[in-house]
Amino acid sequence: MKLNSKGVSPLIATVLLLLVAVGVGAVIWTWTTGFVGKTTSEAGQVTENMATKGSFEITSCTYSGGTLTVKLENTGQIDLNQFRFFAINSDGTTAKTQDETDLDMPAGATAKVTISGLSAKPAKVKAMSLDYTNLTVTADCS
């Protein structure tokens, strides 16, 4: 008895395998370039916001009874919400560091922060945005 087996020739199988591989490669390439392009665009937007739209000022710095009161104004066009404050002694050492992670300062708004537990009046206060770490302001507390 003779079996009549029919199948795909090795040449056709090779061509089909190459077509599937090229198709999968094209799908992966399309997804990758779209993803990288979107991520790069978003990073560019964050950098632009930081460079051109973000700014704030320390409008006052007062010390009384171991507590430093710092007033800020968001002079930029973007919201700032998280800050790190440094109370700096006259010799340049940091007397105290304090994070304020829920400080809501929309564009144009002001806020007040108190730093307590200081043993002496600091010479300066430094405020750094944790949203955009290149935004840093230092003011004298004299």
Residue 79 · residue 58 · CB < 8 Å:
no
pLDDT at 131: 82
Rg of the Cα atoms in the chain: 30
pLDDT band of residue 49 (cuts 50, 70, 90) is low
108: left (phi over 0), alpha (psi -120 to 50) or beta: left
Pick the closest to residue 120 from 69, 63, 60 (CA basis): 63
Mean pLDDT, residues 24-40: 78
Mean pLDDT, residues 51-60: 86
pLDDT band of residue 136 (cuts 50, 70, 90) is very high
Burial class (CB in 10 A: 0-12, 13-18, 19+), 49: middle
Work out the end-to-end distance of the chain between its first and last CA atoms, rounded to an integer number of angstroms: 107
Strand pairing class (67-74; 136-140): unpaired
- 123 secondary structure, DSSP code: S
Sheet with 83-88, strands from edge to edge, namely: 94-100, 83-88, 124-129, 136-140
What percent of the chain is predicted at pLDDT more than 70?
82
Whole-angstrom Cα distance, residue 79 to residue 11? 63
pLDDT of residue 34 exceeding 70, the answer is yes
Residue 57 · residue 75 · CB < 8 Å:
yes
DSSP three-state, residue 28: helix
36 versus 66: which is more confidently predicted? Answer: 66
Q: Write the pLDDT tens digit of every residue in 70-115.
A: 999 999 988 898 999 999 999 999 999 999 988 889 999 999 999 9
pLDDT at 33: 77
